[in-house]
Amino acid sequence: MELRLDGLHHGYGPVEVLRGIDLDIPAGRIVCIVGPSGCGKSTLLRLIGGLELPNRGSVIQIGEAPPDSLNPLTYIFQDFALLPWRTVEGNVRLVLEDHGFGRDENARIVDDVLARTRLSEFRDAFPRQLSGGMKQRVAIARALSVSPEFLLMDEPLSALDAQTHELLMDDLIDLWTRERFSAVYITHNLQEAVRLGHRVVVLSRRPGTVREIIEIDLPLDARAGHTRELETHRQHLWRLIRDEAQAAELELVDG
Amino acid sequence: MAEPGRAGRPVSFRGGGFMPRPVGAVGPLVFLAIVGLWEAGSRSGLISPLVMPAPSEALAALGHLLETGLLWKHLGASLQRLLVGWTVGTVLGIAVGVSIGLFSLARSGLAPIVAAIFPIPKIALLPLFVIWFGIGEGSKIATILFGTFFPTVIATYGGVDNVDRSLIRMGQSFGLSWSSIVRKIILPGALPAILPGFRISAAIAIVLLVAAEMIGAEFGVGAYILLAGNLMATDELIAGVVILSIMGLTVNWLIARAERFLLRWRL
Ligand SMILES: Nc1ncnc2c1ncn2[C@@H]1O[C@H](COP(=O)(O)OP(=O)(O)OP(=O)(O)O)[C@@H](O)[C@H]1O
Ligand SMILES: [Mg+2]
């Protein structure tokens, strides 16, 4: 299954947020979207996953998701969005309960994803007992439990401190290397974009349009050894974004 | 920087304080001291028995109630009214509060009415209820039910309004059904606001109970107090007030227990 964004326009009242976004999102790869703050990245992700309807244009799904994918388009949120009154296990089970598998099958799936994210020993902890990094791993486990075709991630690591950030980044690279999931990954961190993205889409400032798309062909697990090449990509991205970011900054100051 | 060998002094401490903590036996001691002074005052004739009975006399009245078995008759009648009125009022209040929190139509239609009726002291409606529901149990339970209903509605829809929208968005993004979102996200999310509402509605319910029992009730703590007052039997009156105080404390304790259990994820 692939996704195609076809002439997406969106805005709120008089504010035009996205203007004419055309984009192909392939399977089995991570597409990073970067752009200055307020350019409509989060809005774009909500449109892609069907949480909001675009004013014009459409998000098209090409091919069917396999029947065992319970929730083909699955989000991972910046603020984790865990239910504080449910334990780790309960938070994962929440998204399975509506599928009518029965207790045993639910427990099997929960055990499986908790093991895959190395959370098994924390299954009875409440979110308040977990650090930010652990919370995001629970959110990742929850997302994996519904066998998504696409993971839609909105700055999943930006609420974390620098060290946790690095650790989770390695986790994500591991996970991708094992499972080859497809993802749209929003970030404002260019370092993240060049380490995780097979394709990096640069948006202009509001109203957001696609400014440039770069492809990074290095395999994810080999990137640690190619810092120079990544740095070149990063600097290229930064040059693209810097002017936009400065202009956007001034816009915000003006209100 | 500091020269080596020069004498210094510790930086003076200016933190601390502003953290009152309960100190062991102080509470019971103060209570006993007040009762003791009161007893001494009564015995020495400083406090006229016409104005205030000695605590020992009030205790005797309580003992008399217990011996004759009247205590259970009064308490039973009161607790039954309280339980029925409060429970029905709370259930209806939560139902209406959740509807106001969820549906635009309910919000536009009901919220203004609730806001208009909430501030009316329900005691003022008691005579009306007597006309509508008769002088018996009906009017008493209706008064308590009414008094409980409105604060519960307001606490509930405030709680629903304050449920983190990002959690609801999360539920939708995983394709949870509408009823799952309401049962598993909205209701538990509103609970921290609903439970403190219980304290308020329980306090209101006890006030209304006593008031309602002062009209045409044979049994009930309120009826007992009213009768004692009419007979100038201040010892019985104080005994009745003590029963009310214990009732209120017990209700509060039960709600605190429920809170601690239901909100243990919050701590
Ligand atoms: N529900 C909404 N109603 C009105 N305006 C909105 C809404 N959501 C977003 N906006 C506006 O749309 C613009 C784009 O918002 P969006 O959150 O998509 O940007 P972003 O690129 O994700 O920004 P950031 O980098 O800060 O996360 C902003 O100016 C924002 O104020
Ligand atoms: Mg955003």
Structural domains for chain B? 53-262 (1.10.3720.10)
Using the beta-carbon criterion (under 8 Å), do B177 and A98 form an inter-chain contact? Answer: yes
Helix (H) or strand (E) holding A151: strand A150-154
Contacts of B180 in chain A (CB under 8 A): 97-98
The H-assigned helical ranges of B214-233 are 221-230
pLDDT at B3: 67
Q: Are strands A73-76 and A210-215 parallel, antiparallel or unpaired?
A: unpaired
Distance CA A239, CA A251 (A): 19
pLDDT tens track for A173-192: 999 998 899 999 999 899 99
pLDDT at A252: 64
Q: The tokens of A168 are what?
A: 């989770």
Banded pLDDT at B1 (limits 50, 70, 90)? low
Q: Average pLDDT for residues B105-126, to the nearest whole number?
A: 93
pTM: 0.88
pLDDT at B7: 86
Q: What angle do CA A89, A94, A98 make, to 5 degrees?
A: 140
pLDDT at A250: 75
Distance CA B240, CA B228 (A): 9
Length of chain A: 255
Is A100 part of the contact surface with chain B (CB cutoff 8 Å)?
Answer: no
Contacts of A73 in chain B (CB under 8 A): 173
Cβ atoms of A217 and A224 closer than 8 Å: no
Q: Are strands A56-62 and A182-186 parallel, antiparallel or unpaired?
A: unpaired
Residue type at position B52 = M
Is pLDDT above 90 for A226?
Answer: no
Q: The tokens of A199 are what?
A: 């394709």
Q: The tokens of A194 are what?
A: 């060049």
Q: Average pLDDT for residues A53-68, to the nearest whole number?
A: 92
Q: Could you tell me which residues come within 8 angstroms of residue A105 by beta carbon, excluding any fewer than 6 positions away?
A: none
pLDDT at B216: 84
| Mean pLDDT of the residues in chain B | 93
Q: The tokens of B231 are what?
A: 């007979």
Give the C-alpha distances (Å, rounded to integers) separating A108 from A113, A121, B11. 9, 15, 60
pLDDT tens track for A134-148: 999 999 999 999 999
High-pLDDT (> 90) share of chain A, %: 77
Residue A85, ligand 1, Cβ within 6 A: no
Is B179 part of the contact surface with chain A (CB cutoff 8 Å)?
Answer: no
A154 strand-pairing partners: A186
Using the beta-carbon criterion (under 8 Å), do A83 and B174 form an inter-chain contact? Answer: no
Look up tokens 């929850």; give the residue: A142
Q: What is the largest CA-CA distance in chain B?
A: 92
Q: What angle do CA B57, B58, B59 make, to 5 degrees?
A: 90
Residue A37, ligand 1, Cβ within 6 A: yes
pLDDT at B6: 84
Q: Which residue of B has its CA nearest to A127?
A: B265
pLDDT at A42: 93
Distance CA A130, CA A175 (A): 21
Neighbours of A6 (CB within 10 A): 15
pLDDT at A246: 80
Is pLDDT above 90 for A242?
Answer: no
Which of A83, A87, A97 is the best residue to mutate to test the B interface, defined by the most B CB atoms within 10 Å of its own CB? A83
